[in-house]
């Protein structure tokens, strides 16, 4: 093993038994484990955050399969590389099976044309595709490829799994076994915790700590909590404001406000802010929640949310986070009613899909002299001329009489 290569590369598992974590996907009783063991793998798409084991799993497959294994990276490879790999696979002189396992890292970087080139060969079995992506493949990968592949979601590794990998790296000859390192389990656990399920981040941090810490007079490299803290890059919450996690996080933020959970609301707001989300976009979500979910149960929520949006635009970050937190928490703690939201949706559905009739003549406008002789406005009762400024008269068209759009619920008080 070339020790100049990164630690995360050197200690990648070579067999299924060495693979740590993802038991829900690659456990011994799971279909993926059995198909890899039996060398009967079909096309799969692996997706999950960085450092969760996508490439490591592909390497394990490359070590266990009898098929020709080809690795491409979608960032640097093009259509010609795909065609060359397929041509080599179909060359029975070089490859008697006539098939290959084609691992494409970052497959979401391939455009539609490049993905289409793969399709007929995946369909006829020439290519067993293993695609790896950090993006949701249902958004980024050709639907025809998706339909011919098993989509497998990998999650960030558990803290105990990252800890186990770090321990193994310290004793492995391919890892840091040639160094005399003194580091406590507690410090390793802190590295695993800060990495947030990203094994690559944890291993890179450990390697930097070992390589940059002076050896003491006894020939020992002592890694303290402080050294580890300075060497491990603090991992941001998994968040890509242009990707799938953006939609997941904003959905969780809105649902937490709707669900009246202020703690979850603030948590998802913090993730969005930490991930670089546009504060005005967040403010608009709060305004919408104030109207859709709080509504007439607390009309002041819309006033607070709208004021917050204006204040955020004027103040900017980082102080705008305080305004966002106040408005979002106010919406979360408010009583909820979606009566007006449901009402307008019902009405729009009727307008678009029904013959709703004509507006009654007595409530039509007669701005031009002579229109009243045609019945425009004739018989209209001006409510302010009556007790309590109300009067019974028909407002809905004849065909819509009796239709109820606004259905008051128990959280709406007197307006």
Query: How confident is the chain (415 residues) per 10-residue block, as mean pLDDT?
Result: 76 86 85 85 87 87 84 87 87 82 88 86 87 85 86 88 91 87 90 85 89 86 87 60 70 94 95 87 95 94 95 91 96 94 93 88 76 77 91 90 89 79
Q: How far apart are CA 46 and CA 149, in angstroms?
A: 10
Q: How far apart are CA 183 and CA 161, in angstroms?
A: 18
For residue 41, what pLDDT is reported? 84
pTM exceeds 0.85: no
Per-residue CA distances from 370 to 365, 379, 381 (Å): 12, 15, 20
For residue 3, what pLDDT is reported? 60
For residue 234, what pLDDT is reported? 57
For residue 329, what pLDDT is reported? 97
- DSSP letter string, 238-271: S--TTSHHHHHHHHHHHHHHHTT-HHHHHHHHHH
Residue 120: Cβ within 10 Å count: 12
Question: How many CA atoms does the CB half-sphere of 52 hold within 13 Å?
Answer: 22
The three-state secondary structure class of 128 is: strand
Sheet (strand 100-105) strand order:
68-73, 100-105, 127-133, 44-47, 150-153
For residue 96, what pLDDT is reported? 81
Sign of the alpha-carbon dihedral angle for 174, 179, 181, 187: negative
Query: Phi-psi category of 98—alpha, beta or left, where left has phi over 0 and alpha has psi -120 to 50?
Result: left
Domains and CATH numbers, the chain: 22-153 (3.40.50.300), 159-231 (1.10.8.60), 244-333 (1.20.272.10), 339-400 (1.10.3710)
Q: How far apart are CA 101 and CA 67, in angstroms?
A: 6
For residue 310, what pLDDT is reported? 95
For residue 239, what pLDDT is reported? 53
For residue 97, what pLDDT is reported? 80
């Amino acid at each position: 093993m070339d020790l100049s290569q990164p630690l995360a590369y050197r200690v990648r598992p070579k067999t299924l038994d060495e693979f740590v974590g993802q038991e829900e996907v690659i456990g011994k009783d799971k279909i993926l484990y059995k198909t890899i063991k039996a060398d009967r793998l079909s096309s799969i798409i692996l997706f999950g955050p960085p450092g969760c084991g996508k490439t490591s799993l592909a390497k394990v497959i490359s070590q266990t399969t009898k098929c020709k294994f080809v690795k491409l990276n979608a960032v640097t490879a093009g259509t010609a590389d795909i065609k060359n790999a397929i041509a080599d696979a179909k060359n029975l002189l070089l490859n008697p099976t006539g098939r290959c396992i084609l691992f494409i890292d970052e497959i979401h970087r391939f455009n539609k044309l490049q993905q289409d080139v793969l399709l007929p060969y995946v369909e006829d079995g020439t290519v067993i595709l293993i695609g790896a992506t950090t993006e949701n493949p249902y958004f980024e990968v050709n639907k025809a490829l998706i339909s011919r592949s098993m989509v497998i979601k990998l999650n960030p590794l558990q803290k105990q799994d990252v800890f186990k990998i770090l321990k193994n790296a310290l004793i492995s000859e391919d890892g840091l076994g040639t160094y005399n390192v003194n580091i406590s389990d507690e410090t390793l656990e802190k590295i695993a915790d800060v990495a947030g399920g990203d094994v690559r981040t944890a291993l890179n941090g450990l390697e930097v700590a070992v390589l940059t810490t002076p050896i003491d007079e006894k020939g020992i490299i002592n890694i303290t909590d402080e050294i580890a803290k300075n060497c491990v890059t603090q991992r941001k919450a998994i968040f890509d404001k242009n990707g799938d996690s953006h939609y997941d996080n904003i959905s969780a933020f809105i649902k937490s406000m709707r669900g009246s959970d202020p703690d979850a609301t603030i948590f998802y707001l913090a993730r969005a802010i930490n991930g670089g989300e546009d504060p005005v976009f967040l403010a608009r979500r709060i305004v919408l929640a104030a109207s859709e979910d709080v509504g007439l149960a607390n009309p002041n929520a819309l006033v607070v949310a709208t004021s917050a949006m204006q204040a955020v635009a004027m103040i900017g970050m980082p102080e705008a986070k305080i305004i966002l937190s106040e408005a979002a928490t106010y919406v979360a703690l408010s009583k909820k009613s979606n009566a007006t939201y449901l009402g307008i949706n019902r009405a729009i559905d009727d307008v678009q899909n029904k013959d709703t009739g004509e507006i009654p003549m007595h409530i039509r406008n007669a701005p031009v002299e002579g229109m009243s002789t045609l019945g425009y406005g004739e018989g209209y009762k001006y409510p302010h001329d009556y007790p309590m400024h109300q009067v019974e008269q028909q407002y809905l068209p004849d065909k819509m009489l009796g239709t109820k759009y606004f259905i008051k619920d128990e959280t709406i008080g007197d307006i």
